[in-house]
Structure 1
């Protein structure tokens, strides 16, 4: 076996193992050393203050974790904590293998069946901000360790939440890899849309509801190189937008959030530049309605739609070849199917670059 081939094989094996070789480029463009993995290992006990103002201590790495809403479940899947999860909500069943976990949901979108959660004998319960404080308190009174996360208003908040969940569950390295990958993809989008004219975008959640100021969905629109017309109309949070405002703002794009996010087929909406020009985009609900890592796919899908030429130029790759290379790791909108967290197209490109350099060596 030649020295070239041996070196090439070493790069492939390192990447297959999910470990970056010496000198590999990380998500923020820095060079990672061989000892980087040891710096990202978790230590227990760990104490963090949650959204209820409670100091929560996790004594040791939890073997049994319950997620009370889809965003927490998705994050656990992405950071490598899938095997620890023993309970999920009904809206997390899109995740591979989630249907084999205990369904802890009751009736209603955010209702949690306390008895079902207690029956899982969880070491740690992860409660996203949609879970009422009274539910958190009931679970604590039943003897469970519960951590409630803060409200996310931006993708930056999702980075922080992902890293925090990694610390709480003993998946620090996976969380750091995931955040690094997210930042890498967002950086690509930022470079692509920089200097481009931002189109006017209306987010449709269905029934005339939209996302305004102070929402991570609105932040996604901005990251993708668009202007959120709801924010310009001084709508804060998630609320209804009147048809008069829709006519006044005249969006050039309408982005529908999932199957239930269809815009109202009224005269006001049908008369917008977006509908008249056929610029209506639907983004998968799990990639945009949940403050979790896969939101990156919503950002990239929007950026490709809003600024196709600039996005293609910034990526500088054969989109068809890239899609074929990552088919087994993607779902709707490019969502991960639960492979090694943080290892997608960026790492594949590093592998190709590294292999090319090694192959040139004598």
Structure 2
């Protein structure tokens, strides 16, 4: 534990030197006249299949970025971008990934652009000779500037805190990489599963949930994790208490909040938290109630994360509910049928996910949360520390 605390302090000191990114609204026009907010809401993929180039959009640094033609080589700096590329059909375009994306099937054959410890190695990124670099907002803006100064085209993604944010980001990545049809299908799969969870739990009592990150940090409101809890029929007890971002809280606050369920990353975490103060003195500890979701899907704002996390959490929060979850293959079959004939039948029957099941996710080295610009409560807890809190989560996950 002493070594862990030392590591946490080191990370906090290092990240305190990183200036926060300047957030700017993304103004990417929709392909084929379809707005980003419409993607995934029953629109046929054929409607948005025409990804035209050159494509221009303003990224989260306020920079207007133009992609002249469909990129053949794409390097992703964080796993949420890589996961999105895998889901929308852009897997074969990806030539570089971070170490935390290696859980994706086939990712080990790509260049690992991670630096020792955390962050990316700029020379490795340049060495992948990418046509486009996708940099979600967990990437330090200094890294983006350095890569641009090396002559690379870099798009800095806005922060994703909600399902709608993930939907819009998926649409945008589809437009930037020429995978608009895949983005629509992916958004449809994600949206239908979120809707299924929300519909199945609409009239149910919402249990109070806390996601401890280790070192006294928790996931508060106005975060991707909190949005997943809400979509799954739970209530983030930290958000209820007015905490936002990833604050560090005292043992007394945890006991007073008295969560009914603890959201954790592994079975080992579940056993440890319910028997360790202050969590042992909460309703969750006393009743041994935990829900396990793999850290990849808790910490990476991307479509597969949404589907798998919401499915696992809904089943854990409401074991008696019967959400009509749909598989990716069912969504694709329905979309293809709709494109061919307006009278085609589609199924609402739930089934096993065609990708890796969320109940048995692949092991990974760590995680990511796009939370660099998150505001937090508490004295002295700023932007850099909110990133550190999620880094701490990855470190603690490795202990087990």
TM-score (norm 1): 0.77
Within 2, Cα distance between the matches of 1:245 and 1:139? 43
Corresponding residue for 1:197? Answer: 205
Closer, same or farther in 2 for the Cα pair 1:85/1:261, shift >3 Å? farther
The size of the alignment, in residue pairs, is: 300
Asked if residue 163 in structure 1 is aligned to residue 163 in structure 2, the reply is no
Is 1:187 equivalent to 2:198 in the alignment?
Answer: no
Is the 1:62–1:84 contact (alpha carbons within 8 Å) kept by the matching residues of 2? yes
The equivalent of 1:304 in structure 2 is 315
The correspondence for 2:147, drawn from 139, 146, 152, is 139
> 1:241 is paired with a residue of what secondary structure?
coil
Query: Match of 1:61, SS?
Result: coil
CA contact (8 A) 2:60 2:156 kept: yes
Q: What SS is found at the alignment partner of 2:203?
A: coil
Cα contact 2:209–2:236 (8 A) shared by 1: yes
Q: Distance in 1 between matches of 2:292 and 2:135?
A: 28
SS in 2 for 1:217: helix
CA distance in 1, matches of 2:138, 2:266: 19
- SS of residue matched to 1:41: coil
The separation in 2 between residues aligned to 1:323 and 1:69, in whole angstroms, is: 34
**Which position in structure 1 is the counterpart of 2:236?**
228
Unaligned runs of 5+ in 2: 1-38, 327-347, 363-400
Alignment-derived partner of residue 65 in structure 2? 56
Work out whether 1:331 is the aligned partner of 2:371. no
Equivalent position SS for 2:171? helix
Deviation at 1:151, TM superposition (A): 1.1
Q: Distance between the aligned counterparts of 1:122 and 1:259, measured in 2?
A: 39
Matching of residues 274-293 of structure 1 within 5 Å = 274-293=284-303
- For residue 240 of structure 1, the aligned residue among 248, 252, 261 is 248
> In the alignment, is the contact (CA less than 8 A) between 2:40 and 2:184 conserved in 1?
no
The aligned residue for residue 68 of structure 1 is 77
User: Is the contact made by 1:297 and 1:334 (CA closer than 8 Å) also made in structure 2?
Assistant: no
Q: Provide the rounded CA distance (Å) in 1 between the counterparts of 2:163 and 2:101.
A: 20
* Residues 205 and 261 in structure 1, CA contact (< 8 A), matched pair in contact too: no
Cα–Cα, structure 1 residues 55 and 122, in superposed 2: closer, same or farther, change >3 Å? same
2:107 alignment counterpart: 98
User: What corresponds to 2:91 in structure 1?
Assistant: 82
SS at match of 1:270: helix
Q: Which runs of 5+ in 1 are unaligned?
A: 1-25, 337-362
Moved more, 230-239 or 251-260: 251-260
Give, in angstroms, the shift of residue 108 of structure 1: 2.5
1 CA distance for matches of 2:299 and 2:134?
18
Larger radius of gyration between Structure 1 and Structure 2: 1
Q: Say if 1:259 and 1:74 are closer, same or farther in 2 by CA, change over 3 A.
A: farther
1:207 positional shift: 2.6
Distance in 1 (CA, whole Å) between partners of 2:268 and 2:142 is 29
Name the CA distance, whole Å, in 2 between partners of 1:121 and 1:259: 41
Q: Aligned pair 1:151/2:159, yes or no? A: yes
TM-score normalised by the chain length of structure 2: 0.70
Deviates more, 1:204-213 or 1:327-336: 327-336
Q: CA deviation at 1:78?
A: 0.5
1:299-358 Cα distance to aligned partner (Å, 9 max, x none): 111111111222x2x4399xxxx999647632343769xxxxxxxxxxxxxxxxxxxxxx
Paired with 2:246 and 2:159, the residues of 1 have a C-alpha distance of 13
Aligned to 2:382: none
Match of 2:34 in 1: none
Per the alignment, residue 281 of structure 2 pairs with 271
Secondary structure of the 2:221 match is coil
Secondary structure of the residue aligned to 1:267 is: coil
The answer to whether 1:250 aligns with 2:261 is no
Change beyond 3 A, Cα 1:101–1:168 = same
Matched residue SS, 2:211: strand
1:174 aligns to 2:174 (yes or no): no
Rounded Cα–Cα distance in structure 2 between residues aligned with 1:31 and 1:175 = 11
